[in-house]
């Protein structure tokens, strides 16, 4: 089971790398123009083509592309004047920090809210939660972001409206809170809706009645029995939310001026910095595949039945 999922992940990876390769070659005028800009002189283009091996057949270039990837050579940003691989390091770290915080927030609140919703499914509280989920799921990230900035930074003056603060310590934490909450809200709403539905289904099953008939308290039944069964499909769902995390991240990082990958993606798109753009695309793709794989592996560790199949 796990080996099959590993194979699928590897295959998606090859597919991703290939797609990004063709994406670069499909840019108008070829990669040299996209690197040097549309107004580059023919001499400069020819020189770059020679230097990068772009005058060779496509199949050879494809092989070179893979070789470069393995060496971590992702090209040179002529806008930032730095090798893309060196550029990405810091930005990736910041994005991972923000995204992991947001994901943890979203997952924890989804579990909590979902269990409450499942338990109160037929009652008013369950319906109120259902309404709130739709609301938060539908609100655009930039709207939530601006609203939070207005309330917590401008009105109350509790938290900074953007930036990253000093590295490490309280200042960085304080700068993280608003973007993390902004990013977590719609994702948490989606996840909790899914998990609430899952918990509700579990609550209807006979083993819950068995546990109650044995005199177990509602809280015990919830965490020992219901949570355990409802959480397995949920983990896969969390894996599937990772792309939404990156997409939401682009908007959140732009709104909060938080220099992570999403912010860089936005800047590079404005600057037509194609090497950086394709490198970020590749990186986000890889992180997505890795996230899904991690969810599947975690799931199969929890789900004994997967191992028996």
Partner 1 sequence: MRTVLSIENLKVVGYKGGRSCPIIEGITFNLEPGRTLAVVGESGCGKSITAAAILGLLPWGFTVSDGRIVLDGQNALSLPPREWRQLRGKRIGAVFQNPLAALNPSLPIWKQVIESAQLEEALTRKTARSRALQLLERVEVPHVASRLDDYPHQFSGGMRQRVAIALALARNPALLIADEPTTALDLITQAQILNMLKRLQEEQNLAILFITHDLSLVAEYADEVFVMYAGQEVERGSVSDLFASVAHPYTHALLRSIPRLTGSRYRLIDIEGVPPSPHSYTRGCRFASRCPRVIAACSATPPPRLGNDSHEAFCHHPHRVLAP
Distances (CA, A) of 138 to 22, 131, 173, 185, 187: 34, 11, 27, 10, 10
Please, which residue, 96 or 128, has the CB nearer to partner 1? 128
Site for partner 1 in 146-205 (CB under 8 A): 205
Torsion (CA) 37, 41, 44, 48 in degrees, nearest 10: 50
Q: How many CB atoms lie within 10 A of CB 281?
A: 16
Binding test (CB under 8 A) with partner 1, winner from 52, 73, 212, 243:
212
CB 298 within 8 A of CB 234: no
Where b means 16+ CB within 10 Å and e means fewer, 185-198 reads bbbbbbbbbbbbbb
Q: Segment contacting partner 1 (CB under 8 A): 42-50, 138-146, 215-223, 234-242?
A: 215-223
User: Is 303 a residue that touches partner 1 (CB under 8 A)?
Assistant: yes
Q: What is the size of the binding site for partner 1 (CB under 8 A)?
A: 23
Q: Is the Cβ of residue 270 or residue 304 nearer to partner 1 in the bound state?
A: 304
HSE, CB side, 13 Å, CA atoms: give it for residue 22. Answer: 5
- Token pair 């092989």 in the structure block, residue: 63
Structure tokens given for 268: 């590079």
Q: Where are the beta strands (DSSP E) in the chain?
A: 76-77, 82-83
Residue among 22, 143, 150, 207 that touches partner 1 (CB under 8 A): 207
Taking the least distance from each CB to partner 1, the nearer of 38 and 213 is 213
Q: In the chain, what is the greatest distance between 2 CA atoms, to the nearest angstrom?
A: 83
Show the tokens assigned to 106: 């979203």
Cβ-based nearer residue to partner 1, 147 or 205: 205
**Footprint on residues 84-143 left by partner 1 (CB under 8 A):** 122-123
- Residue 163 Cβ, how far from partner 1 at the closest point, in Å? 45
51 scored as a contact of partner 1 (CB under 8 A): no
Instruction: Tell me which of 225, 254, 264, 268 binds partner 1, using CB under 8 A.
Output: 225
Check binding of 271 to partner 1 (CB under 8 A).
no
- Residues in touch with partner 1 (CB under 8 A): 122-123, 205-207, 209-217, 220, 224-225, 228-229, 232, 303-305
């Amino acid at each position: 089971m796990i080996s099959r999922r590993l194979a699928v992940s590897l295959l998606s990876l090859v597919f991703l790398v290939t797609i990004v390769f063709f994406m670069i070659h499909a840019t108008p005028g070829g990669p040299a123009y996209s690197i040097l800009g549309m107004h580059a002189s023919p001499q400069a283009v020819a020189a770059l083509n020679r230097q990068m091996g772009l005058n060779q057949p496509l199949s050879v270039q494809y092989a070179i592309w893979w070789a470069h990837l393995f060496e971590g050579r992702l090209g040179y940003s002529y806008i930032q004047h730095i090798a893309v691989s060196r550029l990405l390091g810091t930005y990736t770290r910041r994005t991972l920090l923000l995204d992991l915080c947001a994901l943890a927030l979203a997952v924890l609140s989804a579990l909590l809210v979902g269990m409450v919703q499942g338990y109160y499914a037929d009652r008013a509280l369950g319906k109120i939660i259902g309404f709130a989920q739709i609301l938060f799921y539908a609100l655009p990230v930039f709207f939530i972001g601006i609203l939070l900035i207005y309330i917590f930074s401008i009105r109350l003056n509790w938290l900074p409206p953007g930036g990253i603060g000093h590295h490490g310590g309280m200042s960085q934490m304080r700068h993280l809170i608003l973007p993390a909450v902004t990013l977590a809200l719609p994702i948490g709403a989606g996840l909790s809706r899914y998990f609430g539905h899952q918990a509700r289904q579990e609550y209807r099953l006979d083993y819950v009645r068995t546990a109650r008939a044995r005199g177990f308290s509602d809280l015990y039944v919830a965490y020992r029995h219901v949570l355990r069964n409802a959480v397995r499909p949920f983990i896969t769902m969390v894996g599937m939310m990772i792309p939404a995390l990156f997409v939401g991240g682009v908007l959140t990082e732009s709104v909060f001026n938080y220099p992570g990958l999403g912010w860089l993606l936005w800047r590079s798109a404005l600057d037509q910095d194609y090497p950086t753009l394709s490198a970020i695309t590749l990186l986000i793709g890889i992180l997505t595949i890795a996230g899904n794989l991690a969810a599947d592996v975690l799931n199969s560790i929890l789900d004994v039945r997967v191992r028996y199949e």
